[in-house]
Structure 1
């Protein structure tokens, strides 16, 4: 599975640390920026290209990192085919994947440690979408919204 990662200035340091870890694990990972620390950059400039890539690939996953995880989540969810969630702990990362078939996780760098981020990403990348009918029905309705846009 292809894994895309992106971050603005607020998530840049955490992104750089996570890239090393993801490579060590052997993931097919592509960094979509920022490529240097730019204190005045805007999360939109990294979230939107990542969302377009993930939304166009049924099996790809995305990781976005900013200070709160919220702005990038808003942007990512504008792209067709994207189901982005902000995760703040392991349980929320699990629920995003298992219950909602999320394909992008947005991390709040100001509120989590590197170790917590690693645990959440591991959960996000390995948890399958739940087989329960209610989850399938709900995500089906979300996909229908995409079709009608």
Structure 2
């Protein structure tokens, strides 16, 4: 399962990502906002997504979260407040590939104001398809931050 959340600045991009996930036959749940509201607050959606991802991890499921705001920073900070979440801010495919391989990120923050739709979809694809490389040094580093 892929959990999604976005504020008003990420709302349109989230719609494109939902369409893409549907085309790929991937299951997702949208935790808001369900309508464009210029006064909504990104922490509401990012926290809900992060909590859902962690609930699934506790049940030994490999699920992921995608959170979106204008800069990607606010949702990343919020998601990372949830114990066990490793949310990485994704600006390009190579960076996200490395974040999955080395840091085993389980949540992706996207900056809707700074990347285009096609680039965002490519980043999402890399996030979902790249496995953690499971090297001892990377496991050790992750354990130090958990």
Paired residues of 1:130 and 1:136 also in contact (CA < 8 A): no
Secondary structure of 1:99's counterpart equals: helix
TM superposition score normalised by structure 2: 0.94
Question: Which structure 1 residue ranges, 4+ long, deviate > 2 Å from structure 2?
Answer: none
Shift of 1:131: 2.6
Cα distance in structure 2, aligned partners of 1:28 and 1:135: 29
Residue 122 of structure 1 is matched in structure 2 by 125
Deviations 1:64-107 (A, max 9, x none): 01100000000000112111010111111112111100000000
Q: CA RMSD in A?
A: 0.9
Cα distance in structure 2, aligned partners of 1:28 and 1:95: 24
Cα distance in structure 2, aligned partners of 1:16 and 1:84: 21
Deviations 1:10-54 (A, max 9, x none): 100000111011011011100111101001111011001111001
Residue 12 of structure 1 is matched in structure 2 by 11
Number of residue pairs the alignment of both structures matches: 142
Cα distance in structure 1, aligned partners of 2:145 and 2:88: 14
TM superposition score normalised by structure 1: 0.92
Spell out the pairing of 1:56-71 with structure 2 (5 A cutoff): 56-58=55-57, 59-71=62-74
Which runs of 5 or more structure 2 residues have no equivalent in the other structure?
A: none
2:95 matches 1:92: yes
2:93 matches 1:82: no
**More deviation in 88-97 or 98-107?**
88-97
Cα distance in structure 2, aligned partners of 1:16 and 1:131: 33
1:132 to 104, 113, 135: 135
**More deviation in 132-141 or 15-24?**
132-141
